Amino acid sequence: MSTLSIVIPALNEAVNLPRVMASIPRDRLEREGWHVDVLIVDNGSTDGTGQVALALGAHVVHEPRRGYGNAYRAGFTAATGDVIATGDADCTYPFDALPRLLHSLTEDQVEFLTTNRLGHENRAAMKRSHAVGNHVLSTVSRALFRNAIRDSQSGMWVFRRYVWHQLRVFSTGMSFSQELKNAATLAGFRYAEVPIEYRVRGGEVKLHAVRAGAGNLAQLVGHRFRRPIERCVTTVIDLREPATVAQSEEA
């Protein structure tokens, strides 16, 4: 069997974890040939998140240094699966879509699969200000890095574990998401983006949107110019209907 590590960062998400864990289709994934290991990264929670995760059958990774990027860095270090899948612990990401996403990864021979939450069907699940901010950041990201990623801020990815070990990613906070995607495309890994359902958040909103947006914008510019970027051509697979293949040239 292939092995799948599902890495989920969690900061005070005890109330949401039962629903999140229940949404992971472990039986179906096992039937389809995946041995599943769920890792909850307790990012300094004070509400018993780690204990709840253990009771629900997850492995718990403790990362006391706060920060989205710090949590993922700890989770990826602990992950042992051939493939890593991610998503937040706030009930917004569709873990029940993992069989479809894994099928896209394997059948289309993709190394890094990211997801797009910005379709019209998801408008009710995201505040208008957040949607506008996501579109702006994604547009700037595409302009700077010349890739085809429509949602640079999405937190659901499925990728082969060796990809992580060949990337240079430094962000410790929310900009980790965009830096990971841009680093993977710059490195020449075969990548794709697929649409997903995005759901209404459960529990307390912790993101400070303006501060995070400004930080992400600064990171994009810093990443683009922190070192010379080698000229390369990568194949991009667009798995939206109709299926197309495009060439993206990095500058």
Residue 223 and residue 179 in contact, taking contact as beta carbons nearer than 8 Å = yes
- How sure is the predictor about 159, in pLDDT bands with cuts at 50, 70 and 90? very high
Whole-number percent of the chain with pLDDT over 70: 88
Pairwise pLDDT comparison (225 vs 41), residue with the higher score: 41
Closest C-alpha among 118, 44, 69, 89 to residue 201: 89
Tell me the per-residue pLDDT of 164-204, one tens digit each, with 9 for 90 and over.
999 999 999 999 999 999 999 999 999 999 999 999 988 67
Given this model, what pLDDT does residue 248 score?
35
Is residue 236 scored above 50 in pLDDT? Answer: no
Whole domain around residue 21: which residue ranges? 2-250
- What is the number of other CB atoms lying within 10 angstroms of the CB of residue 60? 17
Residue 36 and residue 30 in contact, taking contact as beta carbons nearer than 8 Å = yes
Q: In this structure, which long-range contacts are made by residues 130-137, counting pairs with CB atoms below 8 Å and at least 24 apart in sequence?
A: 130/209, 133/209, 133/213, 136/213, 137/178, 137/213, 137/216, 137/217, 137/220
- What is the number of other CB atoms lying within 10 angstroms of the CB of residue 187? 18
8-state DSSP, 42 = E
Given this model, what pLDDT does residue 208 score?
64
Given this model, what pLDDT does residue 237 score?
45
For the chain, give the mean pLDDT: 89
- How would you classify the pairing of strands 244-250 and 112-116? unpaired
- How sure is the predictor about 129, in pLDDT bands with cuts at 50, 70 and 90? confident
Given this model, what pLDDT does residue 243 score?
31
Rg (CA), the chain: 17
- How sure is the predictor about 121, in pLDDT bands with cuts at 50, 70 and 90? confident
Pairwise pLDDT comparison (121 vs 73), residue with the higher score: 73
- How sure is the predictor about 61, in pLDDT bands with cuts at 50, 70 and 90? very high
- How sure is the predictor about 32, in pLDDT bands with cuts at 50, 70 and 90? very high
Given this model, what pLDDT does residue 227 score?
61
Query: What CATH number is given to the structural domain containing 108?
Result: 3.90.550.10
Residues 6 or more apart in contact with residue 105 via CB below 8 angstroms: 83, 113, 158, 159, 160
Tokens of 185: 């495309």
Q: Is 133 helix (H, G, I), strand (E, B) or coil?
A: helix
Closest C-alpha among 61, 23, 16 to residue 206: 16
CA angle 236, 166, 193 (to 5 degrees): 25
Alpha-carbon distance 99 to 83, whole Å? 13
Is residue 34 scored above 90 in pLDDT? Answer: yes
Tokens of 249: 């040239």
- Domains contained in the chain, number: 1
Tell me the per-residue pLDDT of 72-91, one tens digit each, with 9 for 90 and over.
999 999 999 999 999 999 99
